[in-house]
Structure formats: structure tokens, C-alpha cells
Structure 1
């Protein structure tokens, strides 16, 4: 088998990012709110959520599914809630515990809300469920990030169940991926819960101009 050309894959990823930003910009705010609520419902009703003792969620950026209702739900159900926090010593993100979301968060290095520096950090093998945003996901578990590589580095360290969350317009056809890209175990959209087939190679990525969704 001929190995994928990393340069060609990165060019294809760049085209996909432009396409997904266009789709998200065209999405009405009412649809964002409605789909976010449905995503939270589906995720909270899933078996991985029910089994998880430690849940790693995230503080949503504009254009990402709003999973903040799950912060409080996790705590009310007796689970430990963690969010990523940038560690300048390691130059990497670590999961940090949050018990009072209204008071425990501050603006981090990249303007994203994250746990305050004094809150306890966890090791990456502790979260049982990792909820992952992205610009796009496909049925083979490939994830298209924003290009900074922060989540990619985090996901290489985790052993928990990796679940992508996306709006309907972000669930798409074959995304470009390299062998070292970490795939999701499942993806949740407003359309439901989608298990991913992790066995075997992914089919080659395609150009967004010919994508089906």
C-alpha cells in the first residue's frame, strides 16, 4: 500500500476547514441552540456517560456545540468533572477538576475558559469519557480540528472513551486523515449516536466539493 502524502493531506484538510467554517457561518443561531440541547440529551443517555466516573468536557468556542448543561449534570449525578487547562511548564493541556463551574473557570492562554491554576490536575489516564469538539467528523471516526494540534496531542495520551460532538452540518463524508491521527470511538449529533468502526484502515479522504452528508 502506498503511504499517504502528508503534504497533500494537509492541503485537503485546509480545504475542508474552509468549507466547514462556511457551513457553520450559515447556521442560524436557533438551530445551534436546538442541536446543542439534543446533543446533550443523547450524550447523557449513552452507556459511556452512564459508566463514566470522570468526564472530560470542554468550554465551547463560538460555533461549537454548547455542552455547558452537561457540566452541571455531571456534578449532580456524582461524577467528577474535568476540563482541559493549559500548563505552561509542560507546554501542554492537562485535565483539571471543576466543582463550581460558575466560579472555577478563568480565561486561558488562547481566550478559552479553563479551570483556574490552583485547581487540582488529573493524569490523562483518569478520564473515562472524553467529549471532543471539532470542525468535522466522519463515519470512520476521523476528526478535523482547527489546525493547532492541541486536541490531537491530548487524545494521544488518553485511554478513555473518545466521543466527538458535532452539529449535523459537521457530520460528513470521508475526511482526510494521516495514520497518526486519533480516531473517535463514537460521534454524537442532533441526529443521534453513531458508533465508529475502528478496525481496519479508513478509506481515503475526499475533496469537500464532492462530499456527501
Structure 2
């Protein structure tokens, strides 16, 4: 399958999960993340504000604040398909941005890439070779090209797929957590 077809398949899989299934998976993803040494050792976490069928990141963000971690959220620049992270200290620091996704307000403090200890990378599908399939904008692949910190993704087992097609510009993630635990 090509990437476009795979994106549709991923959305179908996520859309077919019942609300109860999603709640159960969501709770287990959060537990598995919060109990990980990657999470415990990170002082500055990069994370998106979820939208659509993505796993809800709000409670992960709240847990990060509870642990006195710096929370950084991306703001995209569609003109050059780049992305930069900014610190948020409350959800009031967000406003609607690119494609209606919540982003940091211009008053938020820029966080340099090398300050991010852990980057929680979104995606629709993941495979055993650490490849991810996102929404197709390439924002994360561009950002990850010279990112030296740790990367992790949160996904349901239903989001695992064998052999996602990849190109030279597709940057693999380092770690993946599902509802059953660490996959890698």
C-alpha cells in the first residue's frame, strides 16, 4: 500500500475503536509512559497538542507539570514546513494555529532543540523498523533531522503495521509504547 492508502487505513482502524476501548488504551499508554525511565529522566518534554483521532495529550501534559517538567509544544511555519517548540505553563498559553491545531501564543518562550530531553512524536502507523507514518506534512521529519534527544511515540497495538514504506527523509523514532508496554 502507498502512504496515502495507509493513512486512510490508520484512520479507519482508529475510528473503529469504541469509546471504551480508546479510554482503556489511553489510560494504559499514559501509565506505561509515566513509569518509563525515559519519562522519569526527562526534565524538558516536547509534545503536541492532540487533535482528531490522536491520543489525548492533555493529561500527559498535566502530569509533566505535576512533576515540574518543562513542557514544550510545537508551532509550525507552513511557509517552509518547519517547526519550533515553545514552553507552555498552562493551557491558556495556547491559541488556534495551523490547520486549527492549538499552538503556543507568540508570548511563549522559545525552547532550543537541544534543550528537549524527550520528544513525544505523533503518528498514525508504526512498524518494527521504527518507521512512523504521520499526516504527510513532513514537519517532524524535518525537525528530527538534527535532533539529538530521545524520541518516543504512543500508539495502540492497532496502529502497528508491517513494512511502512519509507524514504530517505523519513526519520525513524527510537522508542514506541503501546497499551501492552514498550515495543522497542
Structure showing greater radius of gyration is 1
State yes or no: 1:125 paired with 2:85: no
**Pairing partner for 1:110 from 91, 99, 108:** 99
Q: TM-score, normalised by structure 1?
A: 0.81
Aligned to 2:7: 17
1:143 equivalent in alignment to 2:143: no
Shift of 1:88: 6.7
Q: Which 4+ runs in 1 deviate beyond 6 A?
A: none
1:84 and 2:41 matched:
no
TM-score (norm 2): 0.93
Find the aligned partners of 1:147 and 1:109 in 2 and give their Cα distance.
14
Shift of 1:61: 1.2
Match of 2:61 in 1: 71
Deviation digits for residues 20-71 of structure 1, max 9, x if unmatched? 1221221112211221111111011111111111001111112111121111
> Which of 5, 25, 44 is 1:54 aligned to?
44
Which residue in the other structure is 1:44 paired with? 34
Moved more, 39-48 or 25-34: 25-34
Question: Which residue of the partner structure matches residue 32 of structure 1?
Answer: 22
